[in-house]
Amino acid sequence: MSRILVTSTLSGDGKSVVAAGIASALRSSGSTVRLERIDDSESAVADAAQLSQLNGVRSSGRPVAASDIEFDTDHTVIEADAAERIDRDRTVLVVRHGEADDDTVARALESLAPDLVVVNAVPQQGDQAAVARISGLGGSVVCALPQDRHLAAPTVKDIAPAIDGALSGDEALFKEASRDLVIGPVSAHEGMDYFRKYPDKTLITRHDRIDIALGALDYEPLCLILAGGEPTLPYVAQRAERESFALITTAMTTLEAVEAVGELYGRAAFVGQRKLDTAIELVGSAVAVDSLL
């Protein structure tokens, strides 16, 4: 039975993403796994609820005290903001690329002596430099987790208030996020290959371009944003009521809406099944979970 602590240098570094991925990888190896979130902050409540959605992994679904954790599985993964007074066999330190300075990272490495350091949100082709930096500061086993547009993307329910929009459609999708924000093309005919190029998308187009909107719906967007007012035909809203997509209507222009949504990227919470699936895939392929066993 092992106890694995996942902590970070700063809040928002991506502890939950890494904890979920590690727990899933351990479960896939055939072990029984418990995944818990310590601390009582507002973000801890959301983190615990998200982590409880991991299939095959036991979890309380709410933040717990360290003394209340049940050690009833082969491995227990514990996510916590602070590492003091938490008994563990292994420690994972998460460092977000470009956030904590060298002194902060060096102090964390010295005090925690982590068995594994995960550098999160590393830009494309920057993994070697990111790993070398942490290794130079004293990290022993270091992995780089690449930037992911899906994990950085805002959810539908975060987009709606940011653009003063009215939200309707499939409520099960409101807490989900799509990988790409796509602006509608000039014509529906040109949109066929364009929409196909972005399979996981939120589409934004003018409210009076119903041809663009209807063309996009054939390629199953997560969310359709109609800018400039209400749709000129009720048919789009009627489809949102019976099909699996979310609909946001806003009085903002397309440009204003795109700029407002763009401000949300990189500050999005780790919520929704789609982001959970992405975390499992990313961590499973990039993080040396074997080093924890």
Instruction: List pLDDT tens digits, range 37-78.
Output: 998 777 889 999 999 999 999 999 999 998 889 999 999 999
Residue 77 tokens read as: 């993964």
Q: How far does Cα 228 stand from its chain's mean position? A: 30
3-state secondary structure of 230: coil
Given this model, what pLDDT does residue 192 score? 72
Q: How many Å apart are CA 277 and CA 283, to the nearest integer?
A: 10
**Same domain, yes or no: 207 and 134:** no
What pLDDT is stored for residue 208 in this prediction?
84
For residues 13 and 131, membership in a common domain is answered with: yes
**Six-digit token pair at 218?**
């054939």
CATH number assigned to the domain comprising residue 253: 3.40.1390.20
pLDDT of residue 184: 86
List, for residues 169-197, the tens digit of each pLDDT value. Answer: 889 999 999 999 999 887 766 667 788 88
> What is the structure's pLDDT at 233?
66
- The answer on 171 and 233 residing in a single domain is yes
Average confidence (pLDDT) over 212-225: 87
H-state helical runs in the chain? 15-28, 42-51, 102-112, 127-136, 149-152, 156-162, 188-197, 210-217, 235-242, 254-262, 273-286
**Which of 182, 170, 167, 166 is closest to 251 using CA atoms?**
166
Are residues 274 and 256 located together in one domain of the fold?
A: no
For residue 256, is pLDDT > 70? yes
Is residue 146 domain-shared with residue 161, that is, in the same domain?
A: no
Q: Which domain holds residue 188?
A: 154-262
Q: pLDDT tens digit string along 236-255?
A: 777 777 788 999 999 999 99
Mean pLDDT of 199-227: 88
Q: Are residues 209 and 244 in the same domain?
A: yes
Indicate the angle between helix axes 15-28 and 273-286, nearest 10 degrees.
Answer: 70
pTM value? 0.89
